[in-house]
Each structure stands twice: as structure tokens, then as C-alpha cells.
Chains A and B, each alone.
Chain A
Amino acid sequence: MTRIALARLAHARSGDKGNSANVGLIAYRPDLFPILEREVTAERVKAHFGSLVEGEVDRYELPNLHALNFVLHGALDGGGTVSLRTDAQGKVLSSALLRMEVEVDAVVAESVAGLGRVPAGWEPGSADRHPEG
């Protein structure tokens, strides 16, 4: 088994509801979803966020979208307008979750090695179809 960052297996989006946040975690490929289900438990997510999340973590499954949804209670230091954090609305709790390390076998590790990272040679505007604006 090899330890790799969750960022190799999944992408994510997060947002706020009052003083709670949610993180939707989406597998890059259907075959990676069972790994998320096995490795990314509510308990591990709660431990990963440490003092950022005061309350409990609930996990929900959306197998139809190869996704998990985590609700992080008390994650926003009082909520969007009161929080003194730069990320007062929990917009980047998504990428924070992707820093978590999970165990996968060597074959999976090799198959996801390039996922979630900007490829070599990329420059801003490389993907543009209308480069002149």
C-alpha cells in the first residue's frame, strides 16, 4: 500500500450555511469512488480538520455522482460575516480536505499519479480558444 494525497483521487467544492460548511468530494473516476467510501470516513475528516471544525462531521453518500458530502458543523468561526478568517465562508475547505493522505495499492497509485496537477508546459491562456480577448 502507498499513501497519496486525496487530491490525486478526487476534486471538491465547499461552501457555507450559517456557521456550518459543506465539502462535496467527487471521485475523478468511478473506480476510485469505493476508495473514497473506505478511506474518507467522518471520523478521519473530523481529525484532519482539527481545530478548524468545532462541531461534529456528518458524511452522506451520493453513489450516483461518485461523490461524498461532508457537513462540518461549527466550521466557520461564527459564520460568514462574523468570522475573522480570510476564508470566512469556507470556500477553500475543499482544497484543505484534499491534503488528507489515504492508502491505496500501488496499481491505483500509479494510475492516478498525474491527476489533479497542472501538466508540465502549461502556461496561463494555454487552453484559450480566443487568445486575443
Chain B
Amino acid sequence: MAERRVVRVAGGSGFWGDDLDAPVRLVEGGPVDYLVMDYLAEVTMSIMRKLRDRDPRGGYARDFVDLMRRIYPVCEERGIRVIANAGGLNPTACAEAVAQAGRDAGVTGSATLGRVGIVSGDDLMDRLDDLLAAGHELANLETGEPLSTIRDRVRSANAYVGAAPIVRALELGAGVVVTGRCADPALTAAPLVHEFGWDPSDYDLMAAAALAGHVNECGAQATGGNCMAEWWTTPDYDTMGFPVLEVEESGAFTVTKHPGTGGRVDRASVTEQIVYEIGDPRAVLTPDVAADFTSIHLSDEGNDRVRVEGVTGRPPTEFLKVSIAYTAGWRSEGTLLYTWPDALAKARAAEHMLRKRFSRLGLRFDDVHTEFVGWNAAHGPVAGSPPEDLPEVQLRMAVRSRDRDAVERFTREMAPLVLTGPPSVTGYAGGRGRVQEMVAYWPALIRRDAVEPFLTVEVVDV
């Protein structure tokens, strides 16, 4: 009997800053056909903008180039292709740096890795005024406000694009594909469409591809990381196995991880990731499909294997999501640690004192936020009444304002309390807080026909 054909797609990164060694463990630790690397969160593009402002050749995740330098030889030896949205605001510069890493690694002319694909055109920044003039409102999805209210403060604007341009790059022989702001699940969906020749209008298959991408896109969150159910049974967090999806031509797939790695793949770990960051489960939207997560069937097969099948889908909408980042003022924060007895009372007295000082100094803040770490910092009002006489309480105060000077002055107001305020206080050794520029997120929609004709796919030789 012929073995069922399986394409193995591994998710090696959940965000820019994730475990640097995880993708290395994935390509070295067991069979993998494609490694996908997600670097982009909602506002990462605005960070990329800062980098590109500083250096026109920057504006992408350099970590990815360092990674490729490490793994090119093993990928070449094992025939592993790599897809990453590391290109950020400068996919071309990223791809050129990757190609140079490939030359250094000696994969020039390789049948598998001899070409780097570049997907670009998602960046709407240079076309923004033309788009507005043409009647694309780019209204805020949450508030309905038109973009004109913040137009002069926009730092980046990128459309989330689907799997098609990545599939094209693979067809052109790319062994590494670098994209800008493509939808996270598309990184996993594209190699499946490419390998199995799936029809993009078969929405059940596209839903399977999108679901596979959803499971992969947060790395170890599918394999026991941050998994609440019986978390104390999760072995070896220090060597987490990241997800490897064994996908079949039918769209069914098995979530697993390499033998000998830490973490666990079971019904609980996979279910937690499936419900992560979704809205209406009957229509989980990507640029390629509206997937119905209420049709998923899971079977926990034991030995770190969970089979996922049955997902159905419907056509996506006529719109793509746009991620816009704009500057929104300044912020800072500071902490002080108060100790027993009456630690909470001392921390509250310190907060009272600080708020009076802000008022006397005439500091104008849009918000002054207080948390008592040890009691209510994370759960706020849900934390209930404070426990009796806590051994220690950390006062954490944070402010935001359009007035940079007010925030700057805030950073000088907390330290004096070690001498001037309530007693038995410590923990200001770190010095003054930093003033940080805030970049806010503006989600919007745009018609596909204003983006898709502008997408470009190129390849460069290594």
C-alpha cells in the first residue's frame, strides 16, 4: 500500500523576539519540508518604519538573516524551504541580505535554495493620499472614524495579503520566500497550495490551509507553551518543541513536534491555540477564506499527536484588512516597592501624594494609571478585595500624554519618594523611567482591487 503523501510544515516563530534556537531545533531535529517564520504583530510595522527612517537599507527583521546564515547548510542538506514575513517594510533589502547569507553558506546554484523570492506591494504608505482621493475611506474598523482625523500622523499602512503571491514565488523556484505584511496563516497555507495543487476556490481546502496556519502562527503556543490545562505536567519548557504539521492532500493534518523536545501536543494544547485571537468562530477571516472553526474535528492520538480534520470554509470577503500605525503621544511608567506592615496602605499613600504633585505641577496627562502589583495589577477589579496585610506591594504608575514635557517630568517624580514619601520603600535602583513614543493601531478595510493588482513577486539568485 502506498503511503499517504504528507507535507510537513513547521512553525518556528510566534513573533519577532521568539526563541532564537527553536527554528534550528526544527530543521535539525526531525523531518520538515517547509519552515515558516512569523515576525509581525499588529504594530511591528511601525517599529520597522523607525528602523528604515534610520537606515534606508533597514526596516526588516535582521534576525531572520542571522537565522538563515545558521540554517542554510542543514536546509540545503535536507531540502527544506523557508517562508518568512521578515521583510516588513523592506522585503527587497531583506531578501538581498538573505541571498548574501546563502552565497556565504555556499548554496549558490542549489536546486532547492538557489533562489530567494520577494513578495511586496502590501505597503500602501506611498499611495495613501491617492487611495483616500479615490474614495477609499480607510475608516477605523472599531470606531468608524475616517482616516483623515489622523492622516498627518500615519507612520505605516500595510494590507494583509493572502497565499497567492507566495505560491507564485514557490512556482518561480524560490527556496526562501520573504514577504512584507502577509496574513500570518498564509505563510503555512502557501506551501500546501503549491505542493498539493489545491484550487484556491475550493474553500474547504483553503479553510484547512488557513487552520493549519492558525495553529502554526504562534509557535509553541500549540505545543504546550502558555497552555493552562494541567500546565505542571508540561515537560522541559527549556527545549520546547515547536509545531510540525503533517498535512495530507485531503486537508486533514496531524499536529506534532520532534521527538526529544520539550512541551506537549494534546487536545488541550491544540484547542487553546485554535481559540486564540478569534472572533466569530463560524467565519474566521483570512484573505483567502472564511473558515468555520465550529466544523473542526480533533482526535488526540497520544504520543504528542493530534489529528485535525473536517474544517469547512466559504469565500472570503471583497475586502482585505489594513494595518495602519500612527503616532499618538508619549508614555512612561515607574515602580516603587513597599513592604510590610501595611504595605498596600503605604503604596496607596504614595499614589495619593503623586497625583497631588501632578496636579500642583499642572502636568496634563491623557491618563494616569495605577496598579498595585501583588494585588490587582493584572486582573484589576476582578481581583476583588486585597488579601489581609500583604507582605509587600509594588506601586506601578504609568502616564500618557501628547505633551512630551509632562511625561518627561513624570519620570523625575517617582524616585524622590524613597526619601520624601511613605516609609519602608525600596526598588528604585533602576533609575528614571524612559519616555517612549506611542504608536497606536488603526485597523481598516480596503477593497481587494485596490491592492491585489499592485502585488509583485520577484526572485533573486543566490
Chain A positions within 8 Å of B, measured between CB atoms, are 11-13, 15-20, 22, 24, 26, 28, 48-52, 58, 60-65, 67, 69, 71, 73, 77-82, 84-87, 92, 94-96, 99, 116, 118-119, 122, 126-130, 133
Contacts and interface: CB of A to CB of B under 8 A. Distances in A.
29 contacts: A13-B273, A17-B277, A18-B443, A20-B142, A22-B277, A24-B276, A50-B380, A60-B282, A62-B275, A64-B295, A64-B296, A64-B297, A65-B275, A65-B298, A69-B275, A73-B142, A77-B369, A84-B367, A85-B398, A92-B378, A99-B379, A99-B382, A119-B232, A127-B236, A128-B262, A130-B236, A130-B239, A130-B260, A133-B239
Given A60-B280, A64-B294, A82 B378 contact: no
Nearest to B226: A13
B333 A96 contact: no
Contacts of B441: 18, 79-82
Contacts of A99: 379, 382-384
Given A69-B275, A86-B371, A52 B382 contact: yes
Given A15-B276, A18-B443, A24-B278, A96 B382 contact: yes
Contact of B439 (A49, A71, A81): A81
B294 A48 contact: no
Given A22-B277, A95-B228, 19 more contacts: A18-B141, A24-B271, A24-B274, A26-B272, A28-B229, A49-B381, A51-B381, A58-B280, A64-B298, A65-B274, A77-B369, A81-B438, A82-B328, A82-B438, A86-B377, A96-B378, A99-B384, A127-B236, A130-B236
B268 interface: yes
Per CB-CB distance, the 8 closest pairs between chain A and chain B, nearest first, are A24-B275, A84-B369, A84-B398, A15-B277, A11-B228, A11-B229, A50-B381, A13-B272
Residue of A16, A60, A81 with most partner-chain B CB within 10 A = A81
B43 interface: yes
A126 B278 CA distance: 34
Contact of A128 (B236, B295, B296, B298): B236
A19 B142 CA distance: 8
Contacts of A133: 238-239
B228 A126 contact: no
A52 to B, nearest CB: 5
Contacts of A24: 271-272, 274-276, 278
B42 interface: yes
Interface of B is mostly: mixed
Nearest to A28: B229
Interface string B331-355: 1010000000000000000000000
B359 interface: no
Interface string B162-175: 00000000000000
Contacts of B260: 130
A11 B378 contact: no
B380 A52 contact: yes
Given A22-B279, A65-B274, A79-B440, A12 B228 contact: yes
Contacts of A61: 294
B277 A69 contact: no
A24 B380 CA distance: 20
A77 B328 CA distance: 14
A67 B371 CA distance: 32
Interface of B: 41-43, 46, 141-142, 221, 226-229, 232-236, 238-239, 260, 262, 268, 271-282, 293-298, 328, 331, 333, 367, 369, 371, 373, 377-384, 396, 398-400, 438-441, 443
A12 B141 CA distance: 26
Contact of B276 (A11, A13, A19): A13
A92 to B, nearest CB: 5
Given A11-B229, A69-B281, A82 B440 contact: yes
A13 B275 contact: yes
B232 A126 contact: yes
A17 B443 CA distance: 9
Nearest to A99: B382
Nearest to A26: B271
Contacts of B378: 86-87, 92, 95-96
Contacts of B41: 80
Nearest to B328: A82
A82 B400 contact: yes
A99 B379 CA distance: 10
A133 B235 CA distance: 11
A95 B226 CA distance: 12
B380 A51 contact: yes
A34 to B, nearest CB: 16
Nearest to A17: B277
Nearest to B43: A81
A87 B396 CA distance: 13
A62 B229 contact: no
A124 to B, nearest CB: 9
A11 B274 CA distance: 13
B142 A18 contact: yes
B281 A62 contact: yes
B276 A62 contact: no
A62, A84, A126: most-surrounded residue (chain B CB, <10 A): A84
Contacts of B381: 49-52
